[in-house]
Structure 1
Amino acid sequence: MPGPLRNTRIRNQMDRRCPDAPRRCSNCLQPGHTAPNCPVLYLQSEHRFAAIFQGTGVDLDVRRCDRRFFQPLIDLDERVAQYIDAAGFYGIRRAGYLTVDHDLINALVERWRQETHNFHLPVMGEATVTLQDVEVLWGLRVDVLPVTLVHRRRNLAERKQLIYDILGYWPEDNMLNHDRLKITSISQRLSTPLPANASDVMVRQYARMYILILLGGLLFADSGQNLVSLNWLAYVRDLDAMRQYSWGAATLACLYSQMCHASRVSAITTGGPFLLLQFWAWERIPVIRPDVLPFSEMGDFPRGGRWAAKRTGIDPSSQSSIHYREQLALLRMDQFIWMPYTDDILARLPDYCKRGERIWRARLPLIFWYIIEFHCPDRVMRQFGMRQEVPEPVDTNRGGLHQLDLSGYPGRNWADFHKGWIGYWNARATAEVPGVPTTTFRPSNAYLEWYHNHTILYITPPIQQHTQHGQMLHGVSGQFEYLVSYLSP
């Protein structure tokens, strides 16, 4: 009998394993353990849930642009509106501005996991905000060019000159904070109505200022609150070219990035497009959403526009983060709407809410300036009407991507630095995740066993007291989650 086949290739030094190179798990691609012992959620010590479990957790301060800055968008001059709409922001302008529910955002962030870019919900599995959500809810384009950045260093005089060249006015020195401009400065400028005989140059300047408010105050707000980066001026300079960029993918990258940072136990404040997350949660979790009048005719509104309708019941914003935490913990399998955008609803939406459908289910890097975050629809296939199996491993950090920021790399050409990821984005048409259609949203038994063995089912202890509206209440979510953990295979 012949022996086993042997590899006759001559081995050399490249075949030797470096003694200092840590072994990596084939499941999560992280060092320190092997596949049979993979925890999947390997950032436990850094996640804020530990402090919540111990009763020492403090709610995040969720920053967002004040409502007063959005008031001018309600009765917008049509001459200005046409440029904003043509730039690709028609849908979000139509959806309007609502108050962000800080307590709901806190409860959702507690369930977010940086390791997988998903919310880990008890009983049912993983769920997340996808490219489909950002296009359907806000009408932002996704299937176009990535939003990159060539970061330039400027002194104060150069910054003021740039603002004058693009926006048409000279800001006061105290309105500038390094490379950021106070939105107050823009709103003061916009408080002067556009003259009836305004030139096209002035109309475009006004449109640019309104877009800056949308970018810095809503889509890409950070913890700086009411400041907008001067890096956006390179984009608003050419209004006609703005629609060529994937504002939807950039917004989603920003949301993922902000939630990854906010989920850390050290986080105190956060900012980002949390109104998008709020809409996502309202669409899918009926027990935490407000009651509004039916939005019978969508017309040219994106799906998110329906939440601006008149409230008819109890305003959920009067609830606390503890209340939302309990509601999420007690969710049953049938209380989460995996596919809120039915075929009938999608058919009635305007075309601009569906243009990127071919990449809704694509596994891609989401690109926004220096940020690279990963869109992993294979982990939430039920959101696309597909059967959910045990997902493939994912490394969302990829060599330290979550540690990148602008302040540490002044003057860097991020488009060149991320050219490899941009290449993956440019091949997005071939990145769709295949799936098997299903009529049930229950995942496979293998998935449930994998999920229950690798997730954190309980955030609060089984016996916990808390105060709400002056009354002492006993939490039940911890008891429920411990019971689920005990009964799970």
Structure 2
Amino acid sequence: MGSIKINSFSPRIARFLNPVAKTLDQPPPMLKPTDRSNPLFKGWGNPPTQWVEWVNQMAAKHSSIWIKAGIFDSIMSSIYEITFNHDIIYALLHFWNPKTNTFVYPWGEATVTLEDMVILGGYSVLGDSVSVCVIKADLNEKVEVMNQFRTELIRSKSKKASHFQWIQMFKAKKDEEQEHIGFLSLWLSRFVFPSTDRDALGKHVIPIAVRLSQGDKLDLATPILASIYGNLRILKKQSVNSSSSCINLLGPFRLVQIWAYERLTDIAPKTVNELQPNEPRLARWHGLNSNVSLPNLLSQMNKPDTFIWRPYVVDLKNWLQPLYYQDTDKILTDSLSLDDDLQTFARFLKPCEINWLNCKEKYLPHHVAMQFGYDQDIPGDVSSYKVKKCVNFMIPSRSFQPQVSKRYADWLKNVDSKDGENDQDLASGEKVNDSDEARSDLECVHMRKMNAEDKRDEIEMCSLRRMPNGDKETENVAKDVSRRSKDCMDIDELIKLGLELDARISKLEKVFGSLKAKDRNGVMSC
């Protein structure tokens, strides 16, 4: 394991996300150059007039319901204005690969994930799917009433339910429940699932708003990410084909820009807002902009040392980290015992197909394992990937520094920036195996085991970290791992042994450092 940045590798036990490629025949990602186009970013939802005032009024009445439904942070994020930077979006687009839904850089793959939707957007990844938002019989009447209000505005002089008219209509309502549903409908239409006419409230959001008003938790993060992937695919296709036609992009691209700010520090605004108590993380970027030019943006993105793999594990004043960012490794064995936080993290790691309306995209977290704190190996094909349920699941500590395998570094050198995917790849994503087995919350993570047919160096396959020569205890453990790995060691035993080895190594490193310090101070001599 090692670092592409310093091109240095040494053996140690590795932690990969499944599936990993079994052979070196897996083709590396490929790219096509892009030309600049001029789409309409209709999903860039900055707050309309009177919105901030209305949010504060509704929060005072309904914040407990929002917390229960998992939308409190996402609603509060809507009051902040993110300045649109066209160059950043196009710099990112230059590296976008629609086949894997990742940005392919010379130093590795990265992408916007469900983790970013939860942390930056404040959306929930748990709950019922909004793609099949089922309305209970007792809520149908509420949906019909809201549709009648919408129809009333459409029949007016403006011929549509404009956002301004909608606010005026519902702020005057004495019925608190109707006002609340009206508020949620506008929030969804403006910031989450906008219509082609971004100033018109769409009918599709009303059933979702009714469910949320009852405190029902819905998975909003997944369809939002699907819309981002789908819009990047459309934009990439237009740019590759040098098309001059105007396209409407409804995805929330402000989350893509903030993703870049959080991870590519050299392109972010130099001064960041300090979070105030209870503010969402997105507030850090309110009203700020980057002045980096497009050529410099491309140059910075090509450098491996400018990318922060895990920005959310770093302590930040007045920001409450989710409970899955811990100071020690956590091993879980039963998916039924996971609380909401741990289920959320498990959901980040599952390769699957994500959908919204007519958009079906692949979600491939194993291509960007280092973003979740895992080591990166050559990603395997998910189309035939199946996993067993109820096996070990590991959450890495905040302090763990993920690395790449040597074979991944060699594989990445073959990335082709000239020849790209075919038109079919640009048009739609491959189908991902989304069976119950493949969607298991568990067995997303494994320790790399010895395979008798693997032709790599034995120590590298076992991924043992090198230790100072002459330490008999370490040598014995290393021999034990090598011997037992050949017999396909049980994953429980391998994880336990790996952590035991890491603990021993840390202890020996402290002793060795202490001895060196004493030697420098003249306490010891040869």
5+ unaligned residues in a row in structure 1: which ranges? Answer: 1-26, 29-34, 152-159, 399-423, 460-489
Counterparts in 2 of 1:358-437, with a 5 A limit?
A: 358-394=346-382
Is the contact between residue 251 and residue 273 of structure 1 (CA under 8 Å) also seen in structure 2? yes
CA 1:349–1:78: 2 relative to 1, 3 Å? same
CA 1:204–1:103: 2 relative to 1, 3 Å? farther
Rounded to whole Å, the distance in 2 between the matches of 1:125 and 1:165 is 52
1:445 aligned partner: 406
1:262 correspondence with 2:246: no
1:69 aligned partner: 48
Is the contact between residue 359 and residue 428 of structure 1 (CA under 8 Å) also seen in structure 2? no
Rounded to whole Å, the distance in 1 between the matches of 2:73 and 2:323 is 8
5+ unaligned residues in a row in structure 2: which ranges? Answer: 1-19, 135-142, 325-339, 421-526
Rounded to whole Å, the distance in 2 between the matches of 1:237 and 1:166 is 14
Q: Is the partner of 1:453 in helix, strand or coil?
A: coil
1:417 aligned partner: none
Rounded to whole Å, the distance in 1 between the matches of 2:47 and 2:395 is 45
- For residue 109 of structure 2, the aligned residue among 126, 143, 166 is 126
1:104 aligned partner: 88
Offset of residue 140 of structure 1: 0.9
Letter in 1 for 2:174: S
Counterparts in 2 of 1:248-397, with a 5 A limit?
A: 248-264=221-237, 265-266=240-241, 268-269=246-247, 270-293=249-272, 295=274, 297=276, 299-308=277-286, 315-316=289-290, 318-329=291-302, 331=303, 333-342=304-313, 344-345=315-316, 348-349=319-320, 355=341, 356-394=344-382
Is the contact between residue 119 and residue 126 of structure 1 (CA under 8 Å) also seen in structure 2? yes
CA 1:370–1:245: 2 relative to 1, 3 Å? farther
Rounded to whole Å, the distance in 2 between the matches of 1:173 and 1:166 is 11
Q: Is the partner of 2:312 in helix, strand or coil?
A: coil
Q: Is the partner of 1:295 in helix, strand or coil?
A: coil
Offset of residue 61 of structure 1: 3.9
Is the contact between residue 186 and residue 209 of structure 1 (CA under 8 Å) also seen in structure 2? no
Offset of residue 389 of structure 1: 0.4
Rounded to whole Å, the distance in 1 between the matches of 2:389 and 2:81 is 33
2:208 aligned partner: 235
1:226 aligned partner: 199
Is the contact between residue 254 and residue 371 of structure 1 (CA under 8 Å) also seen in structure 2? yes
Offset of residue 141 of structure 1: 0.8
Rounded to whole Å, the distance in 2 between the matches of 1:350 and 1:434 is 19
Offset of residue 188 of structure 1: 1.8
User: Once the two structures are superposed, what CA deviation does each residue of 1:217-273 show, in whole Å capped at 9, x if it has no partner?
Assistant: 322336544344312122223443464210112211111111122111356432311
Indicate the RMSD between aligned Cα atoms, in angstroms.
4.1
Is the contact between residue 363 and residue 378 of structure 1 (CA under 8 Å) also seen in structure 2? yes
Is the contact between residue 379 and residue 391 of structure 1 (CA under 8 Å) also seen in structure 2? yes
Rounded to whole Å, the distance in 1 between the matches of 2:356 and 2:109 is 24
CA 1:69–1:434: 2 relative to 1, 3 Å? same
Is the contact between residue 261 and residue 268 of structure 2 (CA under 8 Å) also seen in structure 1? yes
Is the contact between residue 284 and residue 337 of structure 1 (CA under 8 Å) also seen in structure 2? yes
Letter in 2 for 1:340: P
2:521 aligned partner: none
Rounded to whole Å, the distance in 1 between the matches of 2:389 and 2:150 is 37
Offset of residue 302 of structure 1: 2.7
CA 1:372–1:428: 2 relative to 1, 3 Å? farther
Identity %, equivalent residues: 21
Rounded to whole Å, the distance in 2 between the matches of 1:304 and 1:430 is 36
User: With structure 1 as the length reference, what TM-score do the two structures score?
Assistant: 0.62
CA 1:188–1:81: 2 relative to 1, 3 Å? farther
Letter in 1 for 2:257: Q
1:216 aligned partner: 189
Offset of residue 76 of structure 1: 3.1
1:199 aligned partner: 174
1:187 aligned partner: 164
Rounded to whole Å, the distance in 2 between the matches of 1:100 and 1:432 is 43
Rounded to whole Å, the distance in 1 between the matches of 2:195 and 2:391 is 30
Rounded to whole Å, the distance in 1 between the matches of 2:351 and 2:165 is 43
User: Once the two structures are superposed, what CA deviation does each residue of 1:45-70 show, in whole Å capped at 9, x if it has no partner?
Assistant: xxxx4353xxxx43544334564626
Q: Is the partner of 1:263 in helix, strand or coil?
A: helix
Rounded to whole Å, the distance in 1 between the matches of 2:301 and 2:309 is 15
- For residue 135 of structure 1, the aligned residue among 105, 112, 118 is 118
Rounded to whole Å, the distance in 1 between the matches of 2:71 and 2:49 is 14
Is the contact between residue 167 and residue 208 of structure 1 (CA under 8 Å) also seen in structure 2? no
The structure whose Rg is larger is 2
1:171 aligned partner: 154
Is the contact between residue 104 and residue 278 of structure 1 (CA under 8 Å) also seen in structure 2? yes
Rounded to whole Å, the distance in 2 between the matches of 1:347 and 1:441 is 27
User: Once the two structures are superposed, what CA deviation does each residue of 1:17-58 show, in whole Å capped at 9, x if it has no partner?
Assistant: xxxxxxxxxx99xxxxxx9594643xx6xxxx4353xxxx43
Rounded to whole Å, the distance in 2 between the matches of 1:247 and 1:278 is 19
Offset of residue 288 of structure 1: 0.9
Q: Is the partner of 2:414 in helix, strand or coil?
A: helix
1:13 aligned partner: none
CA 1:239–1:51: 2 relative to 1, 3 Å? closer
2:71 aligned partner: 89
User: Once the two structures are superposed, what CA deviation does each residue of 1:319-345 show, in whole Å capped at 9, x if it has no partner?
Assistant: 55444333323x2x2210001011645
Rounded to whole Å, the distance in 1 between the matches of 2:393 and 2:363 is 11
User: Once the two structures are superposed, what CA deviation does each residue of 1:344-394 show, in whole Å capped at 9, x if it has no partner?
Assistant: 459942669983233222223323234332221111111112110000125
Rounded to whole Å, the distance in 2 between the matches of 1:69 and 1:245 is 25
2:501 aligned partner: none
CA 1:51–1:92: 2 relative to 1, 3 Å? closer
CA 1:149–1:444: 2 relative to 1, 3 Å? same
User: With structure 2 as the length reference, what TM-score do the two structures score?
Assistant: 0.58
Rounded to whole Å, the distance in 2 between the matches of 1:303 and 1:429 is 35
Letter in 2 for 1:189: W
